[in-house]
Structure 1
């Protein structure tokens, strides 16, 4: 059975150790609304889904079931952090540093073999 948007919201909320009340408070809504979202009883506007994704430190793509299952949340979090860098030059530099880190880690792992 494929996960619904509501199931994904609940899964992310629970992983963060957040209650429905806490999520509702963060979104300035009622616990009953969060419950309705999680049980797929009401449709969620994209603007609300964006807010939910932000509060749950995730993406709209994941919550909507559009994310490639091979892409981990950590990778998406890294992309979101990089996206927050306003300067294109600094963003490029950060990406290059991550590439260097990957090369170092992969070289070290090969050396262990």
Structure 2
């Protein structure tokens, strides 16, 4: 079974060590609304998804459709940013191959 948006929100919230109440305080809403989000009972506005992603240390893409992983560390975020900044598909391919080599060395 594929994870829903609500499941991914809950997963990230728990990984961050936050309660529903704490998350609700951060986005100025009631705990019951966070519960409804996590149980896929209500649709979530795009702006709220972006805010949740920021607070939960992930991306809106992850919350929406599972892109990448939850709670990226600073180095992982920087690597993704650098890959996005690279304009040439050749440079991206070389960087990816180099990363694969480095991973296999450790």
TM-score (norm 1): 0.65
User: Which structure has the larger Rg over C-alpha atoms?
Assistant: 1
Q: In the TM superposition, what whole-angstrom CA distance separates every residue of 1:1-60 from its partner, at most 9, and x where no partner exists? A: 000000000000000100000000000111000000000000000000000001001100
Q: Quick check: 1:58–1:76 contact (8 Å CA) kept in 2? A: no
Q: Distance in 2 between matches of 1:73 and 1:30?
A: 27
Deviation at 1:65, TM superposition (A): 1.1
Q: Which residue of 2 aligns with 1:63?
A: 63
**SS of 2:65 mapped into structure 1:** coil
Q: Which runs of 4+ in 1 moved over 6 A?
A: none
Figure out how many residues of one structure are paired with residues of the other and give that number. 90
* Inter-partner Cα distance in structure 1 for 2:68 and 2:56: 18
**Consecutive unaligned residues in structure 2, runs of 5 or more:** 86-94
For structure 1, list consecutive stretches of 5 or more residues without a partner in the other structure. Answer: 89-98
Residues 72-94 of structure 1 deviation map (CA, whole Å, 9 limit, x = unaligned): 934753357x58xxxx9xxxxxx
